[in-house]
Amino acid sequence: MTAERPKAVIVGVRFPDDDERTFEASLVELERLVTTLGYQAIGRVTQARSSLAPAAVLGEGKLAELARLTGGTGHTGTTPPRKRHKAAERWGAEREADEAEEAPVDADDSVTAPKVELVAVDHEISPSQARNLERATGAPVLDRAGVIIEIFHRHARSREARLEVEIARLAYTAPRLREAPSGKERQHLRGSGESALELDRRRIRDRIAELRGELSAIRRERDVRRVQRRDARRVALVGYTNAGKSSLMRALTGSQVEVHDKLFATLDTTVRALSPETRPRILVSDTVGFIKKLPRDLVASFQSTLDEALEASFLLCVVDASDPSWEEQLAVTQGVLAEIGAGSIPRQIVMNKIDRLSVEARAELESRLPDAWFVSTRRAADVSRVWENVVSFFEASYGEAEFSIPYDRQALVSEFHESGRVVETRYGEDGVHVRFRADAETLDRLGKKLR
């Protein structure tokens, strides 16, 4: 019998400039993140406010509603809140009473609240806000960044990815140490003149420095491998998390890359050759998915997978065409690429999962994105078309030349086959005549060998 998953409640605040669709999409995405983390989202508590409440994110009424769902007291354990500033709360105050009456409550909530083991907040919150929410709800609290970091921590497989995640996790944890439940009790001074809290923070700094040293060594080894494949044609699959990059990778390369219908299933860099193989080989790399409000520590630390995008010759921006928020997701992808310095690399939008669209919906998308490739990785014909288009991209820049290779040097013929496309081979009295297509650099390099 499958064990019941622990329960979670989603918390979100809608600001005046948030439209309803975007706000709803963000909450749905957080629910999916929480599900990926292993929880079951059983409800939401939302509020319209001009800003997050300084003490505990929500106003008093909504905080009490949240506490009813979690079984908490609803009290933060701090001093009673001061009277709210009317100007700051004008937009949300008018709606709070109505929202409290309209908020959905499970039938049994008034009698027995379910045991909630996580409160997930769809915003970046301060350590003190998290601590106050934990006091009020009696449940652990994670903001969106914390949820994403925990997912990364559980899903990282390679040594490099685990190191990167641990650095981000420690950086996230360090400022929150002051809010530990026993924090005040541990502020006594030790013989070194250092408080327990200061000692813990120093240990975290030392551990981060140690991890960065290990990571540098691994990256040096990775850079050597990259130099060895420097002349290869490289395509990087980029896009929003769960857009179908790994499915496309598997279809294009014939590899056994794991495919899961969940967020951040891929955290490690995977590089495979396009299949059927071309000459020269075209390498395809899968990358970590992007997401709104991705913690900057993770963007900075996951340099290994982002470097695949930076060093690629061609980017395929994979988009889930069936997702109502595909435009925002594409914007996030373009924004991250610009942020890491990959804004000028040639790219192609690939609208994936079109098998989930109606005929009308697909026609509308095609009219809006006439240059995009519309595919389903479940259709062999679509995958073949992507393969052909990728090959055509590289061959579009090829030049053509004819070379005469003396018979005493015909071992070079195999190098021609490995470096580009041999269009024609003729055998004459003076040697092998090869009509050859390749990029300008390869044509020049092989020409010099025959001089």
Asked if the peptide bond before residue 175 counts as cis, ω within 30 degrees of 0, the response is no
The reply to whether 7-149 and 232-395 are identical in fold is: yes
Tokens of 224: 């050597």
- pLDDT value for 224: 65
Q: Are 262 and 242 in contact (CB under 8 A)?
A: yes
Tell me the torsion sign for CA atoms 221, 225, 226, 227: positive
| Cα gap 94→84, rounded to integer Å | 13
- pLDDT value for 355: 94
pLDDT digits over 292-335, tens only?
Answer: 777 666 666 566 667 777 788 899 999 999 998 899 899 988 98
Alpha helices (H) along 254-350 = 296-301, 303-310, 326-339
For tokens 């925990």, what's the residue?
150
Going by C-alpha positions, the residue among 254, 255, 325 that lies closest to residue 290 is: 325
For tokens 């340099």, what's the residue?
303
Read off the pLDDT of each residue in 393-399 and give the average, rounded to a whole number: 89
Going by C-alpha positions, the residue among 34, 117, 108 that lies closest to residue 70 is: 117
Read off the pLDDT of each residue in 402-415 and give the average, rounded to a whole number: 89
- pLDDT value for 223: 66
Tokens of 422: 């041999």
Read off the pLDDT of each residue in 38-55 and give the average, rounded to a whole number: 92
Collapsing DSSP to helix, strand or coil, 119 comes out as: strand
Tokens of 380: 């062999």
Residue spans of the domains in the chain: they are 7-149, 156-182+190-225, 232-395, 399-449
In a 10 Å sphere around its CB, with 0-12 CB exposed, 13-18 middle and 19+ buried, how is residue 246 labelled? buried
Per-residue pLDDT band at 358 (split at 50, 70, 90): very high
CA dihedral 183, 186, 187, 190 (to 10 degrees): -150
CATH number corresponding to 232-395: 3.40.50.300
Q: What is the mean pLDDT of the chain?
A: 80
The topology (CATH level 3) of 7-149 is Rossmann fold (3.40.50)
| Cα gap 451→446, rounded to integer Å | 9
What is the pTM (predicted TM-score) of this model? 0.73
Residue 187 above 50 pLDDT?
A: no
Q: Are 285 and 271 in contact (CB under 8 A)?
A: yes
Read off the pLDDT of each residue in 61-66 and give the average, rounded to a whole number: 92
DSSP code at position 47: E
